[in-house]
């Protein structure tokens, strides 16, 4: 009898600890009122995003540019995604029902995206040219997932009063990055290329950085990797402009914003790893490959 009672107390303590865990980190704000789309429009938007992702994949397949399930880098990406996804519903309750997908495109392009509904794609170039650690991959993935969770694309569609994201970005000059890659050449016409090349507002970018850090920290990835990631992006961009930066302007502001919020996410990371938040070992990146 006594034992049972103790169990109940332990359970209550655990529950309050997990409730507390929900409240630290980056504070959750309400989703934008500018989401604009409701009901049938929202369903159509999701359907369109799915179509675009599948179209992008089938175009890439024709060029033999989609990594197969046994590709080690794809296995690595999916393992990282599996750790992050359980924490996404904190930022958007719908995410629990999303049909999450992760694919790797065999392309030197330095980019990655997550389309609405959890459809993720990484280009091999971002892994190899930046020599990303798992923590840094988690920061890219967290950032891209955050755009989808916070419905930034949908918000833009709402603002522009069009139900079709394709319509919103048709002919957008920003679509060019696919075209830089010879293997994916005419995939430039695909909807997904345009979705990936959507530029978001500064506010959306900041939100994606912070939500991304929070997601990664909860999944046990070092949020300080975000700083290393953006430093690497900046360094490599000096020699060769990279597409990720054409839609994600780098700069000191971004790094400063992340540093200013680091104290909120480091305890979350420490807890996830079972480490003392005051005695965290320094973050170690891997140097850029020699060019
Ligand atoms: Zn972004």
User: Model-level pTM?
Assistant: 0.82
* Cβ atoms 52, 164 nearer than 8 A: no
Q: What is the DSSP letter of 1?
A: -
One pLDDT digit (tens) per residue for the chain, 291 residues:
455 566 666 665 555 555 455 579 999 988 865 555 566 677 777 888 888 888 888 888 988 999 999 999 999 999 999 999 999 999 999 999 999 999 999 988 888 999 889 999 999 999 999 999 999 999 999 999 999 999 887 766 665 544 444 444 333 322 322 333 333 333 333 444 455 556 778 888 999 999 999 999 999 999 999 999 999 998 888 887 777 777 776 667 899 999 999 999 999 999 999 999 999 999 999 999 886
Classify burial at 116, counting beta carbons within 10 Å of its beta carbon; exposed 0-12, middle 13-18, buried 19 or more.
buried
Output the CA 248–ligand 1 centroid distance in Å.
Answer: 5
- Active-site residue identified among 136, 144, 151, 207: 144
Output the CA 279–ligand 1 centroid distance in Å.
Answer: 31
Q: Where are the domains of the chain?
A: 37-279
- Number of separate helices (H) and strands (E) present in the chain: 12, 3
144 is catalytic: yes
The pLDDT assigned to 279 comes to: 93
Output the CA 144–ligand 1 centroid distance in Å.
Answer: 6
The pLDDT assigned to 2 comes to: 54
Report every protein residue that has its C-beta within 5 angstroms of ion ligand 1.
205, 208, 248
The pLDDT assigned to 184 comes to: 38
Output the CA 188–ligand 1 centroid distance in Å.
Answer: 20
Output the CA 96–ligand 1 centroid distance in Å.
Answer: 22
């Amino acid at each position: 009898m006594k034992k049972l009672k103790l169990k109940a107390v332990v359970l209550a303590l655990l529950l309050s600890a997990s409730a507390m865990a929900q409240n630290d980190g980056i504070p959750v704000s309400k989703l934008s009122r500018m989401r604009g789309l409701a009901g049938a429009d929202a369903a159509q938007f999701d359907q369109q995003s799915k179509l675009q992702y599948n179209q992008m994949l089938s175009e890439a397949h024709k060029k033999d540019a989609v990594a197969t399930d046994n590709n080690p880098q794809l296995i690595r990406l999916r393992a990282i995604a599996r750790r992050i996804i359980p924490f996404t519903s904190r930022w958007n309750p719908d995410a629990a029902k999303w049909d999450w997908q992760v694919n790797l495109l065999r392309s030197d392009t330095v980019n990655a995206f997550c389309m609405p509904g959890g459809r993720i794609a990484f280009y091999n170039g971002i892994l190899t040219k930046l020599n990303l650690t798992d923590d840094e991959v988690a920061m890219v993935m967290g950032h891209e997932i955050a755009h989808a969770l916070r419905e930034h694309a949908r918000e833009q569609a709402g603002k522009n009063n069009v139900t079709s994201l394709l319509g919103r970005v048709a002919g957008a000059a920003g679509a060019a990055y696919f075209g830089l890659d010879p293997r994916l050449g005419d995939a430039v016409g695909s909807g997904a290329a345009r979705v990936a090349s959507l530029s978001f507002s500064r506010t959306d970018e900041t939100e994606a950085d912070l939500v991304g850090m929070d997601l990664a920290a909860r999944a046990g990835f070092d949020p300080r990797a975000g700083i290393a990631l953006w430093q690497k992006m900046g360094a490599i961009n000096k020699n060769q402009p990279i597409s990720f930066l054409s839609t994600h302007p780098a700069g000191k502001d971004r790094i400063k914003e992340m540093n200013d919020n680091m104290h909120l996410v480091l305890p979350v990371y420490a807890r996830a790893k079972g480490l003392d938040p005051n005695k965290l070992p320094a973050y170690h990146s891997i140097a850029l490959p020699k060019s």
